């Protein structure tokens, strides 16, 4: 995507939570009904949608069975989100830890 100065803007990394929230809203599905269908508590769904918890492989497969959204797609979204946010918050390590080997480019 380009901005008005023709510079490329990379969109913020999204998580499975955003995709699920959009799907639930579009189809007017409440958290309680969705939770019941995938076999978890409403609190667990709330925690997923608020990124307090992330999908496990097992839960992603259940979400796929109920919604048709690919479990692999959802898990990849969550992994990309976690990595992007980990890199943003990774400035607190001591210099004596995590020293790259000299052959690392």
Structural domain count of the chain: 1
Would you say residue 56 lies in a domain? yes
Would you say residue 79 lies in a domain? no
Q: What domain range includes position 62? A: 16-73
Would you say residue 47 lies in a domain? yes
**pTM of structure:** 0.76
Q: What is the pLDDT of residue 88?
A: 61
Q: What is the CATH number of the domain that holds 28?
A: 1.10.260.40
Bridge partner residues of 2 (DSSP)? 8
d(CA 68, CA 76): 16
Q: What is the pLDDT of residue 3?
A: 56
Bridge partner residues of 8 (DSSP)? 2
Would you say residue 100 lies in a domain? no
Q: What is the 3-state secondary structure of 4-50?
A: CCCCECCCCCCCHHHHHHHHHHHCCCCHHHHHHHHCCCHHHHHHHHC
Would you say residue 62 lies in a domain? yes
Would you say residue 1 lies in a domain? no
Query: Per-block average pLDDT, block size 10, for the chain (105 residues)?
Result: 56 88 97 98 98 98 98 97 78 67 85
């Amino acid at each position: 995507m380009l901005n008005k100065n023709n510079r490329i803007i990379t969109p913020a990394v999204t998580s499975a939570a955003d995709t699920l929230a959009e799907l639930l809203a579009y189809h007017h599905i409440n958290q309680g009904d969705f939770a019941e269908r995938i076999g978890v508590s409403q609190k667990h769904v709330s925690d997923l949608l608020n990124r307090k918890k992330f999908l496990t492989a097992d839960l992603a497969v259940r979400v796929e069975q109920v919604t048709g959204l690919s479990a692999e797609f959802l898990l990849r979204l969550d992994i990309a989100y976690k990595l992007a946010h980990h890199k943003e918050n990774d400035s607190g390590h001591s210099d004596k830890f995590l020293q790259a080997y000299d052959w690392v480019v």
